Amino acid sequence: MDVAPEKFIESIASGGANIVAFSALLTTTMPNMKITIDAIQQAGLRDKVKIIIGGAPVTQAYADQIGLDGFSSDASRAVSLAQTLM
């Protein structure tokens, strides 16, 4: 919620990110995730990075709905997921 989509785009474009991981603690942050995904896609960078999500209010269904590469229910599983995607 605190990071503008342009910051994500800048990091991906510079080659500084292989995986983008979103975490949501509140449902109010979820719409911004979709906005950021759309911005990454519009910048033509979606195929250059894997994007995963986790946190209390999100689900695998939500990850699928907004076009993410994975979902994790907790941090340790997120590490395993990231390793699998790399």
Q: Is the pLDDT confidence value at 35 over 90?
A: yes
d(CA 19, CA 80): 13
Sign of CA pseudo-dihedral 29, 55, 66, 38:
positive
Residue type, 24: A
Q: In Å, what is the CA distance from 10 to each residue of 5, 17, 45?
A: 9, 9, 10
Q: What pTM did the predictor assign?
A: 0.87
What is the pLDDT averaged over residues 45-49? 94
- CATH architecture of the domain with range 5-85: 3-Layer(aba) Sandwich (3.40)
DSSP structure class, residue 70: E
Q: Which residue ranges make up each domain of the chain?
A: 5-85
CA separation for the pair 2, 25 (Å, rounded): 13
In the predicted structure, residue 41 carries a pLDDT above the cut 70: yes
